[in-house]
Structure 1
Amino acid sequence: MHLNILALDLDGTLAKDGIVADETWQALRNMKAAGFVLILVTGRRLSVIPGIGPFDEICEAVIAENGATIYFPRSDTTVTPFGRLAPEVIQKLEGLGREIEFGVAIAATWIPHDREVLHILSDTGYAATVEYNKGAVMILPPGATKGSGLKYALEELGYSTRNVIACGDAENDRSMFEQADLSVAVANAIPAIRDLADTVLNQPNGAGSRQMMGQLLAGKIPPYRCRPQRRIQLGQNTEGDPVCLSPFNLLDSNWGIVGSSGTGKSWLAGMIMEQLLRIGYQVCVIDPEGDYRSIRAFPRTIVLGSDFSSPPSVGDVITLLEYARVSIILDLTLYKRDEKITYVREFMQALSGIRAKRGLPHWFLIDEAHYFCHTEGEHLSDLFLENAQRGGFTFVTYYPDALPKKLLQGIDHWMFTQINHQATINVLRKNIRPQEKSCDLDELRQLNARELYLCLGDTPQLSAPASGIVRLDGVNRSTQHVRHLHKYLLAPLPTDKQFYFHVSAPDPGVRPAASLWEFRQALPKLPVKTIKFHLERHDFEKWLTEVIHDDELARQVRKLAGRPVKDEQLKEALAATVANRFDELESLI
């Protein structure tokens, strides 16, 4: 399970009437003993926390004063990452003679004294944030919130917000919920927080917190709703309804992507990977054939290995994953078979430490998994299984027959592209888990090029999609599949695949385009009549789709053809569209 960091509010969440029950303290100790990272996030002043209980013994950070003041028990240091209120503001607040409390970095009062506070801030001109919470009025340094304080503490400790489950009850927990990967409201939470939360517990205060911790200790996530902006889009079912997965399904369980050669397995895996990267997860790909190089176009994503004579050091890769927080594609294309297997074995052995310590990377993709799981790779299969116990592994293969039975049976969910061999279907039927037996594997031979079959096991995702055929209508990759790029950008095509331009009279300057490069070079030289002829017949779209395999460029050309642009302007627009797309694709290889 990737959610190994628990950010907890105090009043109304852990505590009731300012008191944390003995049972709650024990639950917190059990979580710490199980390896969870605990962080207290409260609006209370830092000075009062020790009087409530031994949070410094249990938590890796105490985020107090609504995020403005952070204490790190291990190093016994206190920081105010957003600064403090200006002395002139503090002096004027002290002069009010009202019920005002001062912390390390903030001041606090109660409604209706907020009017005087706002007047002071307006009068002095100093920047500050005013936040309301259950009638309390907190005056904070600019930028200080529970969410920003949590983010700062996580960065200092070397953790990711994508591993955080946050639990709270009131207005000032909103920013913390927005940072966390899963937000949980206790039953007594105010309506606005209940509406914002991914899941709402059926117990209040400490009882609710204990309920959640008990589920996490059992390796379970409370049933949750997936935020729309976090959904992984797969396509549409046969009824035309969208089919979406929660990323937790990918991060907390193991998947198999299986299909015959050339049926789009790597394309599908890359499409899922791109969406995970957009959401902010860290991914790692074992890429033995160089199918994922183009994804380096995403920010904080790098390719290692393809341009070197030997694999990058496993230690260096682990360091990059842990501290640089980049996603890594390990391209092993140029390495010999035994070198690939040895390298991946060493990598898997080193991986367990960072997974246990940091919960990183969030998702692993093992492409051509059969390559590593033959008889000689039995030890490597065991390492895959060992690391996959935490979930987050996806195995891609056209040859599941070569995967050990224990590995096949360790897969929770499946995606299938077309499978042409009945023997492969028989292997799957014998080895998939009982809860997936309802999947109709006989349909796999009938799938077309733009369909997959989703076989989903048990999941805590509310409104999870049903198993069945998924049509990839409207779903595209942001980056082009590399195997197409290498083949069609510059390399000459066979004569029967080249594009032959229609001209009214023989013209030695107009030659067939044998690659996308030659197509780009030819367009500015062609007569407008030739361009309009091919656009009206959709010849360019057809060639770009069926030969060049660039659906995105074909879409752009089709869009251009439908615009009311005339003659030379049309020619210039088409030439620019193709040139821009070529430059974009060339930068990916």
Structure 2
Amino acid sequence: MDQHLIAIDLDGTTLNNESQLTAETIKTLRAAAKEGHIVSIITGRPYRIARRIYDQIGIKTPMVNFNGALAHIPHQHWDKEYDVELTQELALDLLAQHKKLGIDTITVENKLHVWANHASNHLPEFLPNRLAKDQLLTANNLNSNPIGLTIEYQPEHRQDIIKAVNEKYGDFVEPRVWGGKYHILELIHRGTHKESGMYYIAKQYNISRQNIIAFGDEHNDLEMLDAAGRGVAMQNAIPAIKKVADDVTPVDNDHNGLAKYLQNYFKLSV
């Protein structure tokens, strides 16, 4: 079989409901890589909280973080690495207005650094639950442009925040609301979605669109599944994702749905 790019979302897709990799998933992804396919994590997660999963799988191929705004090969210099930055001004402006706009926590990060207005235990892993002094979000500490901003907000203020961002920064910033029970808003560079990172990696390996297979379950996977040669929705995916997908896994993320689909599709023995 021709070399494929296997683009995998993490939460609700590659990870089970405890946000863990199963042994079967690890074995399957390693078997696909051994067959010569490019297995790439393409996630909304920052590198800070995707690194352990990348290392557990044991791949050496590019990863995309922040929904397409960072593409890199972890632990090594890759001359094709890119990032799409926001501005320090945006982060500090929202910090100054956070009480007025009903923002509880602002987390600002780039590839290797994270800053926040305070530590939070509301969303373990995603929001930093402890901060060093130099990670406190202030004008002095924020010494480089961020790639992503994550805002935990009071639900009744969601439209106020989106309106404030759009009015002042709408030409280059795109607010995206997380699915699920959390009141989280992500700000990324406008027009930057997972499919741009997916296509970029495919181009580096001369893999054509028809040989890209992508898996996802949530709103931020829509462009990626729609753009892939074969977009596969998880059984547990939201209806909008199933609608654009070419196929749906027979079982969900909590029953090794991605692994079983890959085993069947690529005839992998695990």
TM-score, with normalisation over the residues of structure 2?
0.73
Residue 157 (structure 1) shift: 3.6
Of 107, 111, 114, the residue aligned with 2:149 is 107
CA–CA distance in 1 between the matches of 2:37 and 2:168? 47
Aligned 8 A contact 1:64 1:70 in 2: yes
CA contact (8 A) 1:106 1:139 kept: yes
> What is residue 92 of structure 2 aligned with on the other side?
91
- Cα deviation for residue 69 of structure 1 reads 1.0
> Are 1:187 and 1:204, in contact at CA under 8 Å, matched by a contact in 2?
yes
Matched AA of 1:132: V
> Partner residue of 1:6?
6
Following superposition of structure 1 onto structure 2, how do residues 472-491 of structure 1 map, counting pairs within 5 Å? none
Ranges of 4+ aligned residues in structure 1 off by more than 4 Å = none
**Residue 200 of structure 2 is aligned to residue 152 of structure 1:** yes
CA distance in 2, matches of 1:108, 1:127: 16
Task: Judge conservation of contact 2:43–2:66 (CA < 8 Å) in 1.
Answer: yes
Q: After the TM superposition, which residues 59-458 of structure 1 pair with which residues of structure 2 at under 5 Å, given as runs?
A: 59-73=60-74, 75-77=76-78, 79-81=81-83, 83-95=84-96, 96=98, 98-104=104-110, 105-110=147-152, 112=155, 114-115=158-159, 116-124=161-169, 127-135=172-180, 136-205=184-253, 207-218=256-267
Deviation at 1:99, TM superposition (A): 1.8
Q: How many residues align?
A: 218
1:167 alignment partner, SS class:
strand
Listed as ranges, the gaps of 5+ residues in structure 1 are 220-589
Which letter maps to 1:60? T
Paired AA for residue 12 in structure 1: G
**Correspondence for 1:369:** none
- Counterpart Cα distance in 2 of 1:205 and 1:199: 15
- Whole-Å Cα distance in 2 between the matches of residues 149 and 199 of structure 1? 22
Task: Give the Cα–Cα distance (whole angstroms) in 2 for the partners of residues 59 and 177 of structure 1.
Answer: 23
More relative contact order in 1 or in 2 (CA 8 Å, sep 6+)?
A: 2
* 1:157-198 Cα distance to aligned partner (Å, 9 max, x none): 433333100011111111111221001111111111112111
CA distance in 2, matches of 1:92, 1:114: 17
Alpha-carbon shift at residue 62 of structure 1 (Å): 0.7
Partner Cα separation in structure 2 for residue 18 and residue 168 of structure 1: 15
Shift of 1:199: 0.7
Name the residue aligned to 1:19: 20
Structure 1 residue 152 displacement after superposition: 1.9
Counterpart amino acid of residue 216 in structure 1: Y
Shift in alpha-carbon separation, 1:166–1:43, aligned structure 2, 3 A: same
Q: Which has the larger radius of gyration?
A: 1
For the 8 Å contact 1:49–1:55, the answer to whether it is kept is: no
Task: Quote how far apart the aligned CAs of 1:150 are.
Answer: 1.2
Contact kept in structure 2, 1:106 and 1:140, CA below 8 Å: yes
Contact 2:26 2:56 (C-alpha < 8 Å) held by counterparts: no
Give the drift of 1:123: 3.2
Indicate the SS of the match to 2:45: coil
1:45 pairs with 2:46: yes
> In structure 2, what residue type is equivalent to 1:181?
G
The residue type paired with residue 104 of structure 2 is R
Per residue, is there more helix in 1 or in 2? 1
| Whole-angstrom CA distance in 2 between matches of 1:2 and 1:133 | 35
How far did residue 64 of structure 1 move?
A: 0.6
Unaligned stretches of 5+ residues in structure 2: 111-146
C-alpha displacement at 1:125, in angstroms?
5.8
**How far is 1:68 from its partner?**
0.6
> Hey, what's the Cα distance between the residues in 2 that align with 1:169 and 1:110?
22
Percent identity of equivalent pairs: 26
> Partners of 2:211 and 2:58 in 1: how far apart?
22
Tell me the equivalent position of 1:256. Answer: none
